[in-house]
Amino acid sequence: MQFYPNNMVVRQAQSQAMPVAGAELTPNIYITIAVDVAYVISQQGQSISKGIYLMDNMIANGSMGEGTMEITTIGNAGQVVGWNIVPINPYLNNQTVEITFIQICLGTVFGSPPVQADGNGFSWVAQLIYSGKQAYAIQIKVTEGLTPVSYYVNWEAIMVSI
């Protein structure tokens, strides 16, 4: 456990491979997190309720909240979920973004907790195993500057497996 800037205690996920019957996980549900880095940094550590946009490829399946922080993704048991993060204006003042953790809060649709897929925080994966509804927490790190200053943003999203 580490203490982050707003006295919030978080647990960072460990990088590890997620075994699935000898095969690598290849997502068929994609959730992209786009971050308005300039906005997040301008808030100087204050609470963030906008400037972060989640989108998935499951709108035809009934996903809701596209383009907000409060997305509800609807998938099917057996599908693999992949999260990735991209900065908006990434070349301004050495701005970077990464996912520091995705953690299960309530529910049991994933077979095991999401894990880093790439070792650098840009993409994570998990597999939907059970039907039901899952709340999960996401934490991202937004960094700027030649002398880096980092801000951590936390929120929850919903995964439904049918």
Cα-based distances in Å from 102 to 129, 145, 147: 17, 25, 27
pLDDT digits (tens, 9 = 90+) for 92-134: 667 889 999 999 998 889 988 999 988 777 899 999 999 999 9
Angstrom distance (rounded) from CA 125 to CA 20: 12
Beta bridge mates, 153:
140
Instruction: Name the residue with tokens 């580490």.
Output: 2
Nearest to 143 by CA among 159, 124, 120, 160: 120
Q: Among 110, 118, 124, 98, which residue's Cα sits nearest to residue 27?
A: 124
- 51-103 pLDDT per residue, tens: 999 999 999 999 999 999 999 999 999 999 999 999 987 666 678 899 999 99
pTM of the model: 0.82
Can you give the pLDDT at residue 14? 34
Count other Cβ atoms within 10 Å, centred on residue 6.
Answer: 12
CB 137 within 8 A of CB 52: no
As given in the structure block, the two tokens for residue 56 are: 């998935």
Confidence of residue 148 (pLDDT cuts 50, 70, 90): confident
CA distances from 146 to 15, 45, 88 (A): 27, 19, 18
- The tokens for 55 are 């989108």
Query: What domains can be seen in the chain, in order of their start residue?
Result: 25-161 (2.60.40.3910)
